[in-house]
Amino acid sequence: MIPFNRPPYTGNEDQFVTAAMRSAKMSGDGDFTIRCQTWFEAKLSCKKALLTPSCTQALEMAALLVGIEPGDEVIMPSYTFVSTANAFVLRGAKIVFVDVRPDTMNIDESLIEAAITAKTKVIVPVHYAGVACEMDVIMDIAARHKLYVIEDAAQGMMSTYKGRPLGTIGHFGAYSFHETKNYTSGGEGGLLLINEETFVSRAEIIREKGTNRSQFWRGMVDKYTWVDIGSSYLPSELQAAYLYGQLTVADEINVDRLNTWNEYYKAFGDLSAKIELPFVPQGCQHNAHMFYLKLDGLESRTKFIAGLKESNVMSVFHYVPLHSSPCGKVFGRMHASDKFTTRESEKLVRLPIWYGMQNKEREQVIQSVLTVLDRI
Ligand SMILES: *Cc1c(COP(=O)(O)O)cnc(C)c1O
């Protein structure tokens, strides 16, 4: 049986997790958290990187930091994970969903401007499959309308847009280290990137339950106290240690995934009459987070997934568009028309890909896909 995903594990994690277990401090902001954050700040050249227990929580922190108030509007694609929307809905925002581009499944940047109203506060581009949104256009719109940009880069670690790491282009970027992503901090984890100095000290306070404990540890204040709203957005040192083990071989993980992705692309390249393959625009370097195919509609996709399952290959589809979900109807609205979101989402199927995938596993997937496509 070929599973859809295996959580990344390199063997490097053990020594660091053991060290964290034996250290005198396992709670947040210990040695491994600092080591990871320093690694990200250097690798991504961002102002501040703060580990969080999940990407969901990194997005929640960003929503707090930009000061979302009830009635504010937030623009995002409907084709995304619920957390992209929930983080803002929790603060009382209304979500304005914008259609996706069928080639990348990213928000259609040409439709954003018309969705802006006097209440709009934030644009949230989601870099689907680790392939960048058209950030130059989005940043230009945001600057002209004085909006914040919070990049949902959950899937985008190691990807770049015109040479710039995803998550470092907007005001904030959020990454995920869930076990289905390219790097994991032991199943769950996340990271908030803060790209403007002005937000850093408040971010540390919000993350520490609304206290100035970080300043206290640095000797900047002589006692710590409740100074703002906040929550607990600190991961355990065990999570950070696990992640650190993967960061020490970050490039190896990336290259391995890209190899599998390229093998798939080569094997399916000639089938363009039957399926659509992922598209990576010029100037975007992707991270092989996902390999998807698009069939010609829901019916073929259902048959395709069932056919693969019969040959012991697990494949999955993705997001039911948020604007047609029960909660999305209450907290959001679709701007203009849903020309591509629903139609394209019903075509898409994700193939197994993970770090350390064996040649024979890859071959089994390729052969099964070719056989099943022949039949449907
Ligand atoms: C995985 C994912 C999230 C949520 O990440 P968690 O770490 O599980 O909270 C948010 N947005 C997108 C686009 C994702 O793919």
Cα angle value 18/23/25 (rounded, 5°): 125
User: How far apart, in whole angstroms, are the C-alpha atoms of residue 350 and residue 357?
Assistant: 15
Burial class of 4 by CB neighbour count within 10 A (0 to 12, 13 to 18, 19+): middle
Q: Is the CB of 155 under 6 A from ligand 1?
A: yes
Is the full-model pTM beyond 0.85?
yes
pLDDT beneath 70, residues of the chain: none
51-80 core/surface letters (b: 16 or more CB in 10 A; e: else): bbbbbbbbbbbbbbbbebeeebbbbbbbbb
Q: What is the pLDDT of residue 270?
A: 87
Index of the ligand 1 atom closest to the CA of residue 189: 7
Q: What is the pLDDT of residue 217?
A: 87
Q: Could you tell me the distance, in angstroms and rounded to a whole number, from the CA of residue 81 to the centre of ligand 1?
A: 6
HEC string of the chain equals CECCCCCCCCCCHHHHHHHHHHCCCCCCCCHHHHHHHHHHHHHHCCCEEEEECCHHHHHHHHHHHCCCCCCCEEEEECCCCHHHHHHHHCCCCEEEEECECCCCCCECHHHHHHHCCCCEEEECCECHHHCCCCHHHHHHHHHHHCCEEEEECCCCCCCEECCEECCCCCCEEEEECCCCCCCCCCCCCEEEEECCHHHHHHHHHHHECCECHHHHHCCCCCCCCECCCCCECCCCHHHHHHHHHHHCCHHHHHHHHHHHHHHHHHHHHHHCCCCECCCCCCCEECCCCCEEEECCCHHHHHHHHHHHHHCCECCECCCCCHHHCHHHHHHEEECCCCCCHHHHHCCEEEECCCCCCCHHHHHHHHHHHHHHHHHC
Q: What is the pLDDT of residue 284?
A: 98
Q: Could you tell me the distance, in angstroms and rounded to a whole number, from the CA of residue 23 to the centre of ligand 1?
A: 30
Index of the ligand 1 atom closest to the CA of residue 54: 7
Q: What is the pLDDT of residue 94?
A: 98
Q: What is the pLDDT of residue 95?
A: 98
Q: Is the CB of 182 under 6 A from ligand 1?
A: no
Cα angle value 272/322/303 (rounded, 5°): 40
Residues 6+ apart with CB under 8 A from 218: none
User: How far apart, in whole angstroms, are the C-alpha atoms of residue 248 and residue 12?
Assistant: 8
Q: What is the pLDDT of residue 201?
A: 96
User: How far apart, in whole angstroms, are the C-alpha atoms of residue 62 and residue 67?
Assistant: 9
Q: Could you tell me the distance, in angstroms and rounded to a whole number, from the CA of residue 225 to the centre of ligand 1?
A: 32
Q: Is the CB of 190 under 6 A from ligand 1?
A: yes
Q: Is the CB of 56 under 6 A from ligand 1?
A: yes
**Alpha-carbon dihedral sign for residues 179, 38, 285, 134:** positive
Index of the ligand 1 atom closest to the CA of residue 57: 9
Question: In a mutational test of the pocket of ligand 1, which residue from 51, 52, 56 has the highest number of ligand atoms less than 8 Å from its CB?
Answer: 56
User: How far apart, in whole angstroms, are the C-alpha atoms of residue 373 and residue 376?
Assistant: 5
Could you give the domains of the chain? 13-247 (3.40.640.10), 250-375 (3.90.1150.10)
CB 51, CB 99: distance < 8 Å: no
**What confidence tens digit (pLDDT) does each residue in 194-239 have?**
999 999 999 999 999 999 998 888 898 888 899 999 999 999 999 9
Residue of 127, 75, 59 whose CA lies nearest to 322: 75
Q: Could you tell me the distance, in angstroms and rounded to a whole number, from the CA of residue 155 to the centre of ligand 1?
A: 7
User: How far apart, in whole angstroms, are the C-alpha atoms of residue 353 and residue 54?
Assistant: 22
CA-nearest residue, atom 14 of ligand 1 = 154
User: How far apart, in whole angstroms, are the C-alpha atoms of residue 232 and residue 292?
Assistant: 36
Residue of 28, 153, 146 whose CA lies nearest to 80: 153
User: How far apart, in whole angstroms, are the C-alpha atoms of residue 261 and residue 354?
Assistant: 10
Q: What is the pLDDT of residue 151?
A: 99
